[in-house]
Structure formats: structure tokens, C-alpha cells
Amino acid sequence: MARTFIKKHRLFIIAVILFWLKVYIVQRFFFHVPTENVLQEMLLFINPLSAALLIFSISLFFSLKRRRVILLSISMIGSVIVYANLIYNRFFSDFITIPTLFQTKNMGDLGESIFTLIQVTDIFLFFDVLLLFLVIKRVRVSDDAVTKRQMSWLYVGTLALFAFNLVLSEIEHPQLLTKSFDRSMVVQNIGIFNYHLYDLILQTRVSTDKTFAKSDGFQEVDEYVQTLSSNPNRAYTGIAEGKNVFVISLESMQSFVLQHTLDGEPLTPFLNQIIEESYYFSNVYHQTGQGKTSDAEFLVANSLYPLPRGAVFFTNSDNEYNGLPKIVGEEGYYSVVFHSNDETFWNRDQMYDSLGYDRFYSSADFKIREEQTVGWGLKDMEMFTQSLDYLRELPKPFYAKFITLTNHFPYALDEEDAFIKKGNTSSETLNRYFMTVRYTDEALKLFFQQLKAENLYENSIFILYGDHYGISEYHNDALSEYLGKGITLYDTIQLQRVPMIIHIPGQEGKTIETIGGQIDIKPTILNLLGIDNENDVNFGEDLFSLERSNLVALRDGSFVSEDYVYTKQKCFERESGEEIEIEQCEPFIEEVQLQLDVSDRIIYGDLLKFYMK
């Protein structure tokens, strides 16, 4: 039967084999899905085949005259999907989900960023399409009409192959599709196209959660969340009461640049100085997912985890939230955001209303001339300077959020704005990153000087935090050149640390090594302002608390605890970085997965609307 089918449908078989091998090569050598044993290699090799058989079988339903066009069209469309994931993976070390496809408001600003990710050699990813075209045009290959029996056996074989794939995946990674938040692991085991089918099933499931959400569902999650809370440190309660609040999001700023140099020149001289005069939390990790900067904003405002797929700013902007801006607003604060990009980017114009902001100063509120812009908007110095006119007029006290932009991928900077030379690593992205980090540091220095001149400094509190990584795993080789050591899985997690600085004029500086995340910023700010947050729904804890759990969950299910670091099914000792038995991490793995799952239930079900009542 199989031999007869292959003989009579050679063009179909050629198309399947070419596509199968191409997808395997991309998954094996282009995506960030490393293999460590023979079973993982086998899975990577076989998992594209069932998807290839399924999608190319569509051509068999068409007449012999149209079949060749359909085969070629499927090959091209499939190649575009693979390539889109490759471009996405190069920057985010992640894969496209259905929610990210609906973030179309962002597409207009992505041109330069996407262009820098394209490589000349990418043309070879479409080589199979060209080869199939040549086979169709120049080689005499005839396909017969397919019978119902043949189609039945084809689908039975495809299903059996997929089932075999799932069995092997379950052996390698038990409960992969039910408890994993790591998309690279899913792709490694079932392949990029089967992953997209899995993603579609997830999207269908979560779309029903909000419709059928009930108040008793909120009671269950609320009871769980209350068990996570620890008492805030009362020694710090209210020490910033009545002060203006400046929350500054440091675009793409990772902690490894702090107190580091390039050719003897400090990368962040101002931040280094202000750390000495501030509360500096040296072990705070970003917890963002596919929403990047918007996810960081969500974490800070709500002390909830962002979603595992897409950006919550897009998918759930109409939910009810008890956001930080809303809470401080009820205490007499006037809350604003300064961000010199279009107000619709990341759907901020809608989400900010849900979070409780009183005013959003977007690109429409700034005087923007071409020489004042770089990359995604106004240069940071210009953005800070122009915001002063608005700050002078704000009702006091105010809560002001600033989102910097210059240190954004692809890290472009005009020569006249450079305060340090480019790096000299094998990655131009990393080389430029050093320059834009240094520029943002200088912009912060200028802003603090301006606030002092405007008498807005002394009676204020400043929270500066990095929003997400700037240098992805794609540039690990170059980063290892700069850091002078190889980068392991353990190091990759340590590189997710971001600056977290709380500066209160008049307070002495102190470095605090507690382990935390962006999810802890909301309860920390509220305690400093003396605002009772005891009954709120928070997954974070006051960073100053003496009763902290010292467990930080990352969005992909990785975690850092007082003793362990866990990622991609590997467990490490936190202090030494040595790999240890996975059993040491297992109790924390379950707790982290539960936290992420409960937070997702709150957002998908819009459960806070029951709290608000």
C-alpha cells in the first residue's frame, strides 16, 4: 500500500520531504532549542513530518491540474510561517502566539527593528520552494488521482506518527502540554507547526474562561493569594508619605551593565552614583513575557503576572483592575504617564484607563522634530526636558510614570549623542547597546539636575527599574566575549536581573540582596507611601519585608529561590551555579506553576470584577 502510494504520488512525497527536512534544519540549527541526548535529537527530526503530511495532504483534494499550484502555495506559505518565527525568535528567543498576531497597532513602528534581524543567508530558507518549483516545471513527475482508501491510510499514518511523537515527548518531558510555560520546549518536542495547532487550542480554551467566570472562582483564587502575602516592613511604612512619586522605566536595561566598564569607561556612571545614595535591590529579576515593556508596566501596576501568550495590554485591556495608579488616586494622588510614542502603541490608550491613570502624555503632547528623535520616539533627554512644563502644573502630590525609549532595540544612536564608543564584540547589536545604555544614563543625570532646579526633587521618591532584557540569548557568544566567560543556562537566568533602585532624598544608601521581581514593586511603593494594601490581590511582597519567601517566578516557569535556580528542567545551586539533581527544585516548581496558573485565571476570567464589587 505505502509503496504504491509513493509511486503514484511522487510529487506530493517530494514536497513533503523537502519541507520536512527544511523545518528540521531550521529547528535544529536556527531556533534556540538545544538538544542534550539522542531522544531529543530524534524528536526534533521526526516532529515536522506529521505536520508536513497533514498540511500538504490538502493538495490531494484538488484536481490533478491544480494540485501542483496548491503544493507550491502550501510550501511558500509554510516557509513564510517558519521564517516569521525565526525572525521573532532571533530577538525574543520565543515563538509567535495567536495573541501576538493581533498586536497590529505595533507593526507600524517595527520596521527598523525587523530589518536589523534579517540576514542575507535567510534566502536559503526558501530554497526548498525553489527546488519544488523546478521539479514541477522541468521534471516529468505525474501524480494519480487519490482514492478514499489511500486518504484514509494517509491520515491514519499521520495520526499514528503524531501519537508516537507525543509518547516520546511524554517520556522526555512528562506533562509537557499541561504544565509547561516554556514554548521553546514545546517546539523542541512537537515541532513548530504542531506547536501552532497547540497554541490555537489554548486560545480557544482561554477565550471561554471570561464568559463562564463566576464569583466563587474569585473566592478560591483570593484565598490562595492571601496565603502568599507577608507582612510589610513597618520600619519603612509611610517614610515617603505625601511625597511625589516618580516611577521611571529603564528600557531594556539589564543589571550586568551597572558598575561595569567598556575600555575603562563606566557604562552607567550616574546610576552607579545614585545606587550609593539609594536602596538598591541587586537580585531583582524581570518577569515579562511576550508583552515586554507593557508586561513590566502590568506587573508594576497590578502585582499580577503577565500572560503566557501575547500581551495582556492587548488581550485583556477591558478587564477591571485594582491598579496602583487607581489606588494612589483614591489617596489624593494625581497619576500621569509620560511616553513619547503613539498613544495606541501596546494599546496604552485603553489600558491606562483600566489601570486608573488620570492623564497620558503621549507623542501628541510633545514637540517632535526629526533631529530630536531616534529609533522609537523622542530621545530620552528631550522627553525628560519637555515633560518639565507639564510637571510644573500637575496637582500635588502626583504619581508620574516615565517610559524611556532610546535604549530600545536596535539601539540606534546619532554620533553627536554618543557618550562612549561602540563595543568591539562580534555582535553589532551588543556594541550599539553599550552606547544607548550610556546615553540613557546621561539623560537620567540631566533629569535629576532639572528636577532639583525646579524644586521637585527634595519632596519626591524615585523608583527606577529595568523593564526587560535588552540582549537576548541570540547574542550570548558576543556577551561572553564582553563578560570574559562562557554563558551557561544558569548564567542566562542571572542575566535576567534588572536594576531596581528606590531613591528617597535624605535617606542613606543601602544594598539589599533579597530575591525579588517586578511583581514586588506595587506592594513596596504602597508601604512606603503608608497606604494600606493588606486586602488587595497581590502576588508580590514588600521588598523590605523581613518575612519574604525569597522566591521569584519567571514567566516561562523558571524560578530563583534562596538556594536554587531552575530553568528548562535543570536545577542549579544559586550560589555556585553547579547543576544538581532536579528533585531539589521540584517543590518550588509546583509552587511556581500554581502561582502562574492562578494569576492567569484571574486575568482570563476577569475575576477582579468580583473583588471590585
Measuring CA to CA, how many Å separate 104 from each of 88, 309, 312, 314? 15, 15, 14, 10
Q: HEC string of 518-539? A: HHHHHHHHHHHCCCCCCCCCCC
CA distance linking residue 525 with residue 463, whole number of Å: 8
Has residue 285 got a pLDDT over 80? Answer: yes
pTM over 0.95: no
CA nearest neighbour of 170 among 189, 149, 153: 189
To the nearest 10°, the Cα dihedral for 589, 594, 600, 604? 140
Are 166 and 195 contacting, i.e. CB atoms less than 8 angstroms apart? no
Instruction: Name the residue type at position 517.
Output: G
Per-residue pLDDT tens over the stretch 552-578: 999 999 999 999 999 998 999 999 999
Neighbours of 438 (CB within 10 A): 25
Instruction: Name the residue type at position 521.
Output: I
Measuring CA to CA, how many Å separate 129 from each of 12, 79, 417, 516? 13, 8, 45, 49
Residues with catalytic annotation?
Answer: 293
What ranges do the domains of the chain cover?
2-208, 215-612
Q: DSSP letter at 173? A: S
3-class SS at 206?
helix
Measuring CA to CA, how many Å separate 453 from each of 336, 392, 447, 448, 449? 21, 12, 10, 9, 6
pLDDT above 90 as % of the chain:
65
What DSSP assignment string belongs to 456-519? Answer: -STTEEEEEEE-S-SS-GGGHHHHHHHHTS---HHHHHHTTB--EEEE-TTSPPEEEEEEEEGG
Going through 305-358 in order, the beta strands assigned E by DSSP cover: 334-338
**Most confident of the following: 10-14, 41-45, 152-156, 251-255:** 251-255
Has residue 410 got a pLDDT over 60? Answer: yes
pLDDT score for 198: 85
Are 504 and 282 contacting, i.e. CB atoms less than 8 angstroms apart? no
pLDDT score for 498: 98
What is the total residue count of the chain? Answer: 613
- Locate 510 and state its grid cell: 543601602
pLDDT score for 207: 64
Cell 564608543 maps to which residue?
Answer: 421
Q: Is residue 285 packed enough to be buried (19+ CB in 10 Å), middle (13-18) or exposed (0-12)?
A: buried
CA distance linking residue 189 with residue 195, whole number of Å: 9
CA distance linking residue 284 with residue 274, whole number of Å: 17
Per-residue pLDDT tens over the stretch 416-464: 999 999 999 999 999 999 999 999 999 999 999 999 999 999 999 999 9
Per-residue pLDDT tens over the stretch 146-156: 778 888 888 99
Measuring CA to CA, how many Å separate 327 from each of 24, 334, 412, 488, 530? 51, 11, 37, 42, 12
CA nearest neighbour of 546 among 299, 202, 322, 230: 230
CATH architecture of 215-612: 3-Layer(aba) Sandwich (3.40)
